[in-house]
Structure 1
Amino acid sequence: MVVTSNIKATFPCDSQRVWEVVTSLTNYSWRSDIERIEVISDTQFVEITKSGYRTIFTITRQEPFCLWEFDIENDNMKGHWVGAFSGNEKTATIDFTEHIEPKKWFPKLLVRIYLKYMQVKYVRDLREVLKNTTLDFGSKVEKLCHK
């Protein structure tokens, strides 16, 4: 049983800024669900939740400022995530889709509700960091979004 969940959101930001925030594996303090990220290689990383749960991500495709895809796996599920980015210097739109297959039996509706909950939480966190914070991405420190 594969469960698919999609979320789209638009931000009053330069699309490059949104890409930099989402794809950074070092500046993740804005994520309310993540304790830390361990980078394994150029194509693999592990997210550890605040409760210590580990999920392995393997990047399968990356087109800077346009597309980021990876396979996902942990003890409870495996799947594929596709993140499409579009926009211009004034607005950015994300279109994120997850295809998840539970490894254990869970009611499909429960899995769908949980995925949507996590996506909404992620977008809420992203919106807050883009609106309220200045992050350091390499040599430049700048306001991420227009107010």
Structure 2
Amino acid sequence: MATSRVTEYFLCPVEQVWQTITDLTNTAWRSDLAQVEILDETHFVEHTKSGYATDFTVTACQPLCRWAFTMENGNMSGSWEGIFEVAEGGTRLHCTETVNAKHWWMRPFVPSYLKRQQKLYLDDLRRELQK
């Protein structure tokens, strides 16, 4: 199991950060995704540009405060939590992601993969919020 914790500051209102992250009907800003399939209020599937699908289940949704979910695909299972905080005229976002590799040979690569994925997500988010 690998865990990555990242805190980012965005110079925009918490409402804007929340809306961008939680609006699953508008994910074009995500450079790694081809589409998101919304199954119901708490279940969705992300499809990467390479065609890989990951299932998500929302476990917490406290508007403007906390969004969390579990995730699973053929290679891993895990969880993600975002804590949204009004700070210094903008928003501080605390992200915690935990991933368990399903194959023993993948375990050494999980920490670097996790860091790379979080960086890509936050870089994409920053670009979108600066528009």
| TM-score (ref. length: structure 1) | 0.85
Alignment gaps of 5+ in structure 2: none
Letter in 1 for 2:86: G
The yes-or-no answer on 1:26 pairing with 2:25 is yes
Structure 2 equivalent of residue 136 of structure 1 = none
- SS for the counterpart of 1:80 is strand
Per the alignment, residue 65 of structure 2 pairs with 66
Percent identity of paired positions between Structure 1 and Structure 2: 42
1:89 is displaced (CA, Å) by: 8.6
Match of 2:6 in 1: 7
Provide the residue aligned with 1:48 in structure 2. 47
Q: Secondary structure at the match of 1:13?
A: coil
| Contact 1:15–1:89 (8 Å) recurs in 2 | no
Please state how far the C-alpha of 1:50 moved relative to its aligned partner: 0.2
Indicate how the Cα distance of structure 1 residues 37 and 101 shifts in structure 2: closer, same or farther if over 3 A, else same. Answer: same
CA distance in 2, matches of 1:103, 1:109: 12
Aligned residues between the structures = 131
Q: Is 1:91 paired with 2:90?
A: yes
Mapped to 1, the partners of 2:86 and 2:25 lie a distance apart of 24
- Structure 1: tracts of 5 or more residues without a match: 133-147
RMSD across aligned positions (CA):
1.3
| Alignment partner, residue 116 of structure 1 | 115
Q: Please state how far the C-alpha of 1:51 moved relative to its aligned partner.
A: 0.4
Q: CA deviation at 1:88?
A: 5.3
Question: TM-score, normalized by length of structure 2?
Answer: 0.95
Q: 1:9 to 1:81 in 2, by over 3 A?
A: same
